[in-house]
Every structure is written in structure tokens, then in C-alpha cells.
Structure 1
């Protein structure tokens, strides 16, 4: 019985989906016919038919929402949006809003032998600080004062030099002595118990 209910529920949903698709297609066709009729008219005639003001005469504070209706052709909507963007100082100054607003692909705008202090992953600050340090060293070279090493420091240095290779050899030998044991593969085992029926 539940199979029949599921079938009819699915069938009913399918019929409703077909009706919605047909309705959407009719609406789309009506919009296309209306747009085709509007394309034949001039912008002044369209604005008069839709009771809209001239978008070029609008100023800051005017209502631009009427130009966002579906009945308004795209070309008039774009004109109104251009005026809106120019009238609003926040939208008009897009220097800091659009990262890629300029065309950097124009080879005529490329400066010859252009150099930059920016390094990918490192930035500019470290590079500039290093350049400043090198320039300062060239202007004021540091004086090298040679001091005679004390005897205790010389003995301590030689003791460290002697001990370090021994410790290194011991660790290398300990690592070589350890054998690497590969893990054995695991396998799943199944048993099937037959029940007496």
C-alpha cells in the first residue's frame, strides 16, 4: 500500500513541477517579447511609458530603485547605475575599493628596467632595512679590534672541538644499530556461522 502512496505522491509532485516549468517558460517568453518591443523604442519613449525620470538628471539622494524593476531594459538600468555611482562619493572613488581596477596588461604602460623592493613571501620592510644597514656600513665601516685570546678560552674551544665529533659518531653508530622492523600486514578474518533452520 505504501508503494502506491509513494507513486501517486511522486506523480503529483511531477505534475506540479511540470506546471511550474510551463508557467516559468510563459513568463520568460512574455518578458522576452516585452524586451523586444522595448528594444525597438528609444530611451526617451521607454522612460515616458514607464513613468521614469531621465537617469542622467538624477542627483545624490534621489530614488534609483525604480530602475531596478524587471520591466526596465538593461541599458537604461545601467545608465541609472552609472549616475548613482558618480553621485555617491563612496562609490565614485574606487581607488581603494578595486584592487585590479587598472589594466596592467598594457605593455605600453610598463616602465623599462623597473625594480621593486618587494619579495614574495618576505615583503618589503626587511629588504629596505638590509639596504639601509649596508649603506650605513659603507659610510661608517666598523673598526676591527683584534684581541689576543686568553689561554682558558683556547683550551675550552679545543675541548669542545674534540668532544663534538665523538658525540656525533656515537649517535650515528646508535642509529645504525637500530634495525627497522616493517609492520606486518593486517588481515581481517571472518567466520560464518550457519544456523539450523
Structure 2
């Protein structure tokens, strides 16, 4: 009797973007099958290899929402689930799944949160004396300007909880900082 593992794909993505998530998900499925698991893939993107009917043992062509995912988990009763290869869509399910007692295989919710939360990540690097460029988390335009003056330009403005450098900006002066915060809410950076 094989143990079942569910792999969550990335869901719909823009054309030409995110194909690396499908590639990683498919290779995860193949590795799990080779290791002797019964593998289920959940992905509702029709343009991916992971949604080919012969990739996994079973395919659920369903949205990656908490309600749909929990329904599948109740039906499949898996040994565990893999979220690490589905990009931000799958990763955002991790806390919910963990809070609901679902066994996360691979990277835990806490490790994902630590990697995405700039302050927690910086504390980890500090704990192990790992050198890196100085960084500060700010919540307002004034805080961003104060920090930029202290650190010195250019500064990298990057929101927390994103992958791939989305919305990352290099500010060379005060006007650049003002322009970024003028176009986004302060909580986005």
C-alpha cells in the first residue's frame, strides 16, 4: 500500500513567466514516483506539463484555494503535501495547511516565513554572523528617506513576501524614494 503525496502547482501564470514552477513541480512528481509514492498533482493551469494526465498518478484540475485544497486533502488523505515548487500561489497556502495539521514535506511554514520576512531573515543572518548589505524595514515614506540618508544612496527598495524581485527598485536619490512611495502604499514596501 503506497503512501500518497500531494504536490501543489502554481496555478494560472502569465505567458512566458513562471514555467520554472511547472518544471520543478513535474520533477518533484517524478522523484516521488520513483521513490515509491502515489503522487497527486493539484494545478488549474491547462498550459503546463504538470496537468498532463500521465504526469502524476492523479490530477486535480482545481483552483489552489484553501477550500478546494482541503477538500482534496480530505479525499486523498495524504502522508504529506509539497508546496515548495508551486511558487507564491502554493507557498501562500503553507500557513493555512500547517495550522490545519497537514504534514508539509520539505520547507516548513516557519522557514518560508523566515526567508520572506526581511526582519526575521536579517536576525538569522546576524545570529550566525553572516555578512550582508545593511538593511532596514520601513513602513512610511519618512522612514524610508531617513534610512536612505543614513545608509547612503543608492538604496534597494524591496517589498517583503515576494519572489523574483517583483517591485524591487533601486533608488539613487530622494526623488526616486518619493516616486516609489507615491505609487505604492507604504505597506507594500
Q: Which TM-score bucket, shorter chain as reference?
A: under 0.3
With structure 2 as the length reference, what TM-score do the two structures score?
0.22
Larger Rg over CA atoms: 1
Structure with more strand by fraction: 2
